[in-house]
Amino acid sequence: MAEEDRMTLAPTELYGRSDEEQQNGPKIWRRKTEEPPGNCIVYSLTIIVIVFAVCLILSLIFLRISKPEIETVSISTSDLRFGGNSSNPYFNATLVSDISIRNSNFGAFEFEESSLRIVYADHGVVGETTIGGRRVEAHKT
């Protein structure tokens, strides 16, 4: 009957019986696979660095910067005047030129005001004009 009056005060699985002397202090149960909380930060930073490295490598391979392609589409003359004799010839013409700039990059390309010179054989520059600055959008002409 004395045993029926006994009452346990704590769960016996974790701490043993409350009326028994504990050996080597209380038992603290942890899962053996539990890792310290600092490893989560290390793993997260490692994943971020790996993702950044992969994006950098892919961008260097596929997103290479290329030079814009400049092409003369057509040149025509208007107001062509010529004359003179064999010792003193002259000619005067207005050239109309259509130039295209193709940008194959993923970003816009801007160019400042430039100049265009026309050279005739070995006689040097026979004409010059300015080209206003413009902006060529990505993958546009």
List the chain pLDDT tens, one digit each, 141 residues. 555 566 655 555 555 555 555 555 566 666 666 656 677 888 999 999 999 999 999 888 887 888 888 888 898 888 888 888 888 888 888 888 888 888 888 888 888 998 888 888 887 888 888 888 888 888 777
Q: What whole-number distance in Å separates Cα of residue 38 and Cα of residue 34?
A: 12
- List Cβ neighbours of 75 (8 Å cut-off, separation of 6 or more): 95, 96, 97, 98
pTM above 0.85, yes or no: no
- What does the pLDDT read at residue 3? 58
pLDDT value at residue 14 = 55
Please tell me the distance from the alpha carbon of residue 140 to that of residue 113, in angstroms, as a whole number.
Answer: 19
Please give the Cα distance from 71 to 75 (Å, whole number): 11
**Structure tokens, 57:** 């490598």
DSSP state of 109: E
Backbone angles phi, psi at 42, to 5 degrees: -65, -45
What is the per-residue DSSP string for 67-105?
Answer: PPEEEEEEEEEEEEEEEE-SSSEEEEEEEEEEEEEEB-S
Please tell me the distance from the alpha carbon of residue 136 to that of residue 112, in angstroms, as a whole number: 12
Q: What is the pLDDT of residue 48?
A: 97
C-alpha distances in angstroms, 1 versus 68, 74, 78?
Answer: 100, 116, 127
Please tell me the distance from the alpha carbon of residue 117 to that of residue 67, in angstroms, as a whole number: 21
**pLDDT for the residue 98:** 86
Which pLDDT does position 53 carry in this prediction? 96
